[in-house]
Amino acid sequence: MRFLLVNYGSIGEQTLLNEIRKNGVWDVVEGSDDCLYMAECNEYDWLFLTNTIKGRPALDLCRELRANGVEVPIVYLTPYPTSEEKVIFLNSGADIYLSSSAGIDELHAELMVVLRRVSAAKPDDTVQFKGFNLNLTRRLLFYGEQGVPLSKKEYDLVEHFSLNAGKVLTSELLLEHNWESGVETYSNTLVVHIRNLRVKFKKYTAEEVIETKRGRGYILLA
């Protein structure tokens, strides 16, 4: 999963965020303008706002993100939570309003509430391709009744491919979505991971699952 954190200065939520940051790839920006730009240019699974942001206040930023059509779930963390402010944020497009001193279990429970709501709005939480079934809730891949073992990074790639089946995804887009910004990735990192996925897929089917489009990128064949 990919996250965007908007925070300027000292991160009072460090303990809480360090725990959740273990579960995905994170980009961090300090200001509202950078947030709007990053949210427009990248695909995020969660967006975290704090009470210390350069530029527009978090509430105004939340409203502008929704006005711009950004649909990613928004979490607002504040050291000074109030019932009145919570109502305003939730009515302005935030999905979760939480104290920055909350425990990781409470944050995780709140995240699960949002995910269940999103899943309930969809026909199901399974993506199918070439005889494979990817369970997005359980983060597991199956071929028929057989479980297909995947590393965390392999799962992230398969999920990204499956949610964009039939679309050509460039190497740059795949690297940006699945590896942290600023972290050096060798030129063959993506190639190695896709090769490993192809090897695993071939254990279950003779059909080509991920096709290379020379000079353009990769495509998952539905």
pLDDT band at residue 118 under the 50/70/90 scheme: low
Q: How confident is the model at residue 189 (pLDDT cuts 50, 70, 90)?
A: confident
Please state, in angstroms and as integers, the Cα–Cα distance from residue 113 to each residue in 8, 110, 117, 118, following that order. 28, 5, 6, 9
pLDDT given at position 186 = 55
Q: With a cut of 70, say whether residue 216 has pLDDT above it.
A: yes
Average pLDDT of the residues in 134-138: 84
More confident residue, 184 or 166: 166
Three-state secondary-structure class, residue 213: strand
| Residue range 2-120, CATH number | 3.40.50.2300
Q: How far apart are CA 107 and CA 13, in angstroms?
A: 12
The string over 42-68, giving b where at least 16 C-beta atoms fall within 10 Å of a residue's C-beta and e elsewhere, is eebbbbbbbbbbeebebbebbbbbeee
| Cα–Cα nearest to 119, from 135, 143, 97, 141 | 135
Backbone angles phi, psi at 28, to 5 degrees: -125, 130
CA distance 22 to 6: 17
HEC-encoded secondary structure of 132-165: EEEECCCCEEEECCEEECCCHHHHHHHHHHHCCC
Mean pLDDT of 130-156: 88
Q: How confident is the model at residue 183 (pLDDT cuts 50, 70, 90)?
A: very low
Most confident of 116-120, 149-153, 187-191: 149-153
pLDDT in tens, 70-106: 889 999 999 899 999 999 999 999 999 999 888 888 8
pLDDT at site 187: 57
Q: What pLDDT is attached to residue 97?
A: 96
The share of the chain scoring above pLDDT 90, in percent, equals 44
Q: What is the pLDDT of residues 45-73, one digit of tens each?
A: 889 999 889 999 999 999 999 998 888 99
Q: How far apart are CA 14 and CA 121, in angstroms?
A: 33
What is the assigned CATH class of domain 126-220? mainly alpha
Domain ranges across the chain: 2-120, 126-220
Rounded to the nearest integer, the mean pLDDT of the chain is: 85
Which amino acid is residue 198, in one-letter code? R
Please give the average per-residue pLDDT across 141-163, as a whole number.
Answer: 89
Confidence of residue 207 (pLDDT cuts 50, 70, 90): very high
User: 3-class SS at 15?
Assistant: helix
11 vs 200, residue with greater confidence? 200
3-state helix, strand, coil in the chain (%, to 5): 40, 25, 35
Span 181-194, mean pLDDT?
70
d(CA 68, CA 61): 10
